[in-house]
């Protein structure tokens, strides 16, 4: 049955279609025309809701940040109450998300196409970051810039996520293969 001229909720349908296509076929599997086709509209329909493909990608990235935040919070909520345990759990959530959502993770962190001018995206990224920042707060020394601890933890977990991803792609020979993040994290000092 053909979709009537007015879809009714096309913006949302395009975002959902985009996330499905990313999950199924990676970055190159997501195109405007495929999103439009999956949403049941013509190839030019998205132009009314997104200025360009970059606009749609930014909206998808915002959604991705929300899922990312949820994954970290879910891990944190399952962990023991100790500050160090909670921080490690959040990092594990970070790495789980990166492993299970490689293309979305790429879009969020490595994509020059998305722009943080988008308020949804800016809000979502800020919220995600706050989870990590709050978990770092107990480790901040008196009169110390809290961003120092935050940057250290964030660099470590983000770097580990990136290298693990490269290790997964390149087979067993990659140096990061077999190294557990918990071991790297345990010797972290502040």
Binding positions for DNA, rule: CB under 7 A: 3-8, 10, 31-34, 36, 41-45, 47-49, 52-54
83 lies in the binding site for a copy of itself (CB under 8 A): no
Q: How far is the CB of 59 from DNA (least distance, A)?
A: 13
Give the interface segment with a copy of itself, choosing from 2-10, 43-51, 64-72, 155-163 (CB under 8 A). 155-163
First and final C-alpha spacing in the chain: 61
Give the nearer residue to a copy of itself in terms of CB position, either 42 or 166: 166
Partner that binds at residue 47, options DNA, a copy of itself, none, CB closer than 5 to 8 Å by kind: DNA
Residues comprising the chain, all counted: 190
Measure the CA–CA gap between 134 and 85, rounded to whole angstroms: 13
Measure the CA–CA gap between 135 and 41, rounded to whole angstroms: 44
Q: How far is the CB of 189 from a copy of itself (least distance, A)?
A: 5
Q: How far is the CB of 41 from a copy of itself (least distance, A)?
A: 26
Q: How far is the CB of 45 from DNA (least distance, A)?
A: 4
Beta-carbon contacts of residue 41 (< 8 Å; ≥ 6 apart)? 3, 7, 10
84 lies in the binding site for a copy of itself (CB under 8 A): no
Helix, strand and coil in the chain, % to nearest 5: 70, 0, 30
Q: How far is the CB of 15 from a copy of itself (least distance, A)?
A: 22
129 lies in the binding site for a copy of itself (CB under 8 A): yes
The Cβ-side half-sphere exposure at 153, using a 13 Å CA radius, reads: 30
- Residue 189 token pair: 């000092």
> Residue 101 phi/psi, 5° resolution?
-135, 60
Backbone φ/ψ region at 116: left (φ over 0), alpha (ψ -120 to 50), beta: alpha
Q: Which of 2, 81, 112, 143 binds a copy of itself (CB under 8 A)?
A: 112
- Residue 168 token pair: 């997964």
The contact set with a copy of itself (CB under 8 A) reads 26-28, 106, 109-110, 112, 116, 129, 133, 145, 147-148, 150-152, 154-163, 166, 169-171, 175-176, 178-179, 183-184, 187-190
């Amino acid at each position: 049955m053909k979709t009537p001229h007015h879809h009714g909720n096309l913006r949302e349908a395009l975002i959902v279609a985009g996330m499905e296509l990313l999950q199924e076929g990676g970055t190159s599997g997501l195109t405007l025309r495929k999103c439009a086709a999956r949403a049941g509209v013509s190839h030019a329909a998205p132009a009314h809701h997104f200025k360009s493909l970059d606009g749609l990608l930014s909206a998808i990235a915002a959604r991705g940040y929300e899922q990312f935040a949820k994954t970290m919070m879910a891990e944190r909520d399952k962990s023991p109450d100790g500050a160090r345990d909670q921080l490690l759990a959040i990092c594990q959530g970070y790495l789980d998300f990166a492993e299970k959502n490689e293309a979305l993770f790429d879009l969020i962190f490595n994509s020059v196409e998305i722009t943080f001018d988008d308020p949804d995206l800016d809000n979502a990224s800020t919220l995600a970051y706050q989870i990590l920042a709050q978990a770092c707060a107990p480790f901040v020394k008196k009169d110390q810039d809290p961003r120092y601890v935050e940057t250290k933890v964030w660099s470590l977990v983000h770097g580990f996520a990136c290298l693990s991803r490269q290790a997964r792609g390149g087979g067993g020979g990659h140096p990061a293969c077999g190294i557990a993040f918990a071991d790297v994290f345990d010797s972290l000092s502040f």
